[in-house]
Amino acid sequence: MPVSGQSFTPSELKRAAELRDQLNRHAHLYYVLDRPELPDAEYDRLFQELELLEKKHPTLRTPDSPTLRVGGAISAGFASIRHAVPMLSIRTETDTEASGAETFDARVRRELELDAEAPPVQYVCELKFDGLALNLRYERGVLVQAATRGDGETGEDVTHNIRTIKQVPLRLTGFKGDVLEVRGEVYMRRDAFDRLNERQRALIAGGAKNEKTFVNPRNAAAGAVRQLDPAIAQKRPLSFFAYGLGEVRGWEIPATHSGLLDAFEAMGLPVNGDRAVVDGVAGLVEFHKRIGGKRDTLPFDIDGVIYKVNSLALQKRLGFVTREPRWSVAHKYPAQEQITIVRGVEFQVGRTGALTPVARLEPIFVGGVTVSNATLHNMDEVERKDVRIGDTVIVRRAGDVIPEIVQVLAERRPADAIVVQLPSVCPVCGSAIERTEEEAVARCTGGLFCPAQRKEALRHFASRRAMDIEGLGTKVIDQLVDASLVKTAADLYSLTLQQLSDLERMGEKSARNLVDALTASKQTTLRRFLFGLGIRDVGEATAATLETHFGLLENLVEASEADIQAAPDIGPVIAAHIFHFFHEPHNLETIKQLRAAGVHWPDVQSRRAAAGPLLGKTFVITGTLPSLGRDEARDLIAAHGGKVSDSVSKKTSYVVVGAAPGSKYKKAQDLGITILDEAGLRELLKSG
């Protein structure tokens, strides 16, 4: 008898379930295990039978049906998904030799307080895939959502595209829990990438418009995942490897990371076989060396290996530092290198007037991208390497690092090679160039008169960690400076809606949003303001120190070099830079104009004096707070007179603990330090 309200028969219901099970099983054998048991023609016949059944009775289609891999309607855009558990980044060990593994092992042992006699730590070693990080959410074993990493907190919903990847199971085998989020990497095999580009070249040769070849497998994979049309994504040969966890509910997590990977395999998830459980640093070094020897023969790109402490209990104990786990590290391999020719050298002018020589190269394919420029850092570097125009050079590119010239092949130097000369005047504004004996860097003396310095200074002033002026990007700043609408940061606050609307590709709505962002940025903190001014060698930490030490901007402006150097962690060089900045009339005039425009911040000194119990108190923050960002919490504590430290000691007054706290939490417990959650911190701030 048919189910109430449905037209299909029990036999059709049973057959649809059988077809789903068979097709999913054979897809796993083919795409994950590489052990096909069924000819393609027979697989296609079963697939078409299921398609016909579902077309006849649409209610027979379940969320794990293989027919859903075909794709669906074109999306208007990607919805945002907030990750239940943040997708954090992993620290990178740039030392490509064995000492990189030694550094990591020593750091782990130190954090775990293991002495030389303690047994070696057990690790899991995996490959570092060059792809796109992904979070798969399964509910009661069925894939319900796929999201990109995004900024770690929020990603994009790419479920329809991920369903087209044959390696991603639509239903997990044997999973009985409520929720399992699987973290992994979408990538493209090298042979699949080559076939894709061959197809693209054929389309282009046939006159197809809006088609192109792809630069490297990673870009091709990332582009496929972010296609609005699942039918296009389906044509891109993507693969997937699982390697980690997100949210878990109703499932007992194994005690080790290696056990977790084994459990993934048992569920039908693809897990890379080039992994190993090793003991101590010797095992890490051996794995790094072994994979490095076979790196070029792997069917996909990697740029290093990953080390993880195997015990999940020890991972929890080690915790996190900033946004990176202490229990894991990415250990890179030596950068890829190629040979090319220097066609010219130009000088770029930065925010502080520093001139950076940039080599213009004969374009060469290095590390997955076409490189036509390479930094030469400064004239000392040019002279040390003896780089000349016309030279044949070795160029290195590692990951997203700016390409650099490693070596000149002097034996290939042509007779007419040209020696690189430092210009006597700024290539942008014509001001004199200054190069002192103490510095390798040459600088334009034009200051804000120089458009190049002005643009860089404005970009820095508007950046997120400075004044955080949303919408004031590079292109807008370029137009404002080129049109002489803005010469100093203070000029930004006198811009009118009409002036902004008249900019190219701005429009009234974008202009209004920018006016609102400028207005909102007027309320800031002293540390953000100091950082935004772009004082040489004054980063965020130094700006925070100056705010805490001097309290009022007026105190800092009137301070002597000796007074400035008396602040914690500020040496004579930085003190001199700060002192000279506040004794330049045009800098003081800009600050005066900014204050007149309404830029303001809490009076740290007076608030600190009235802070009561927070005065002289030292705080440490560990873990992720429910609603306060780490920087926001720091600002609040500092504004109430407290000091925030990165390490727990007997002098620590309070430790503020959020989700997934690190070893600071345990140390605070051991020392008997008062522990607060976010609510407790807010109560303390309120009482202060």
The label of the residue with tokens 């780490």 reads 630
Query: In the predicted model, what is the mean pLDDT of residues 18-29?
Result: 83
Which of 94-98, 113-117, 221-225 is predicted most confidently?
113-117
Backbone angles phi, psi at 155, to 5 degrees: -125, -170
CA distance 220 to 236: 8
- Which residue, 661, 59, 627, is CA-closest to 321? 661
| E-assigned strand segments in 319-435 | 320-321, 324-325, 328-332, 336-349, 355-366, 369-375, 388-389, 392-397, 404-408, 418-419, 433-434
Q: Quick one: which H or E segment has residue 81? A: strand 80-82
Please report, rounded to a whole number, the percentage of residues in the chain having pLDDT higher than 90: 43
Say if residues 225 and 148 touch (Cβ distance below 8 Å): yes
What gap in Å lies between CA 647 and CA 618, rounded to an integer? 10
Length reported for the chain: 688
Work out the angle at residue 44's Cα, subtended by the Cα atoms of residues 41 and 49, and round it to the nearest 5 degrees.
130
Alpha-carbon distance of 654 to 648, in angstroms, equals: 9
Determine the Cα–Cα distance for residues 13 and 53; give it in Å rounded to an integer.
9
Between 252 and 583, residue with greater pLDDT: 252
Q: Is beta strand 132-139 parallel, antiparallel or unpaired with respect to 142-148?
A: antiparallel
Instruction: Write the pLDDT tens digit of every residue in 258-268.
Output: 999 999 999 99
**Residue 366 CB burial class (10 angstroms; 0-12, 13-18, ≥19):** buried
Residues 23-35: b if buried by 16+ CB within 10 A, e if exposed: bbebbbebbbeee
Rounded-to-integer distance, Cα 18 and Cα 320, Å: 46
Q: Report the pLDDT value the prediction gives residue 604, as an integer from 0 to 100.
A: 60
Under the banding of pLDDT at 50, 70 and 90, the label for residue 203 is confident
Integer Cα distance of 508 and 512 in angstroms:
6
Predicted pLDDT at 58: 86
SS3 state of residue 219: helix
Residues 6+ apart with CB under 8 A from 55: none
Show the CA angle centred on residue 85, arms to residues 248 and 279, nearest 5°: 75
- Which letter does DSSP use for residue 473 in this model? -
Helix (H) or strand (E) holding 638: helix 630-639
Quote the CA–CA distance of 401 and 579 in Å, as a whole number.
34
Provide the residue ranges of all domains of the chain, joining segments of one domain with +.
10-70, 92-332, 336-413, 447-521, 526-601, 606-687
> Is-same-fold flag (447-521; 526-601)?
yes
Residue 394's nearest CA partner among 411, 419, 418, 415 is: 411
Handedness of CA 636, 640, 641, 647 (dihedral sign): negative
Distance of CA 210 to the CA centre of its chain: 30
List, by residue number, the catalytic residues. 128
| pLDDT the model gives residue 6 | 57
**CATH class of the 447-521 domain in this structure:** mainly alpha
474-482 and 451-462 helices, crossing angle to 10°: 140
> What is the maximum span of the chain, computed from C-alpha positions, in angstroms?
94
Give the type of residue at 590.
Answer: T
Q: What is the pLDDT, as a whole number, of residue 498?
A: 93
Q: What is the pLDDT of residue 569?
A: 76
Mean pLDDT of 173-202: 91
Distance of CA 279 to the CA centre of its chain: 30
Per-residue pLDDT of 477-493, as tens digits, reads: 999 999 999 988 999 99
In terms of average pLDDT, the best of 89-93, 415-419, 681-685 is 415-419
Name the CATH architecture for the domain at 606-687.
3-Layer(aba) Sandwich (3.40)
Asked if residues 329 and 306 have their Cβ atoms less than 8 Å apart, the reply is yes
The class of domain 336-413 in CATH terms is mainly beta
Strands 654-657 and 618-622: parallel
Burial pattern 417-432, b for ≥16 Cβ within 10 A else e, equals beebeeeeebebbebe
- Over residues 654-664, the mean pLDDT reads 83
pLDDT for 533 beyond 70: yes
Cβ atoms of residues 287 and 305 within 8 Å: yes
Per-residue pLDDT for 2 more than 70? no
- Mean pLDDT, to the nearest integer, of 608-634? 73
From the candidate CATH numbers 3.30.70.3270, 2.120.10.30, 1.10.287.610, 3.20.20.10, the one assigned to the domain spanning 10-70: 1.10.287.610
Span 346-359, average pLDDT:
91
Q: What is the pLDDT of residues 545-602, one digit of tens each?
A: 898 888 899 999 999 999 999 887 788 989 998 998 898 888 888 899 999 999 999 8
Most confident of 30-34, 179-183, 204-208, 532-536: 179-183
Instruction: Find out whether 342 and 359 touch, Cβ atoms under 8 Å.
Output: yes
Average pLDDT, the chain: 86
**Predicted pLDDT of residue 70:** 52
Q: Give the model's pLDDT for residue 610.
A: 45
Q: Is the CB of residue 443 less than 8 Å from the CB of residue 352? A: yes
Higher pLDDT among residues 259 and 441, named by residue:
259
What digits encode the pLDDT tens for the residues 43-88? 767 888 888 898 888 888 887 788 776 544 444 568 889 999 988 8
Q: Are 127 and 305 within 8 A, CB to CB? A: yes
Residue 333 tokens read as 């391999």
Give the Cα separation of 504 and 501 in Å (integer). Answer: 8
Separation in Å, CA 381 to CA 387, 395, 396, 427, 434: 9, 15, 15, 20, 17
* Torsion angles phi and psi, residue 55, rounded to 5: -70, -40
Burial of 456 by CB count in 10 Å (0-12 exposed, 13-18 middle, 19+ buried)?
A: buried
Indicate the pLDDT class of residue 609, thresholds 50, 70 and 90.
very low
pLDDT at 607 over 70: no
Decide yes or no: CATH 3.30.470.30 for domain 92-332: yes
pLDDT at 645: 78
Average pLDDT over residues 188-202: 87
Predicted local confidence at residue 611, as pLDDT = 46
Sort strands 433-434 and 443-444 into parallel, antiparallel or unpaired. Answer: antiparallel
Give the bridge partners for 675, in sequence order: 655
pLDDT at 513 over 60: yes
Tell me, what's the pLDDT at 606?
A: 47
pLDDT tens per residue, range 362-410: 998 876 678 999 989 888 889 988 999 999 998 887 555 678 888 899 8
Alpha-carbon gap, residue 37 to 225, rounded angstroms = 29
Q: Does domain 526-601 have CATH number 1.10.150.20?
A: yes
Given this model, what pLDDT does residue 102 score? Answer: 92
Strand bridging mode 355-366 / 369-375? antiparallel
Residue range 105-126: mean pLDDT, rounded: 94
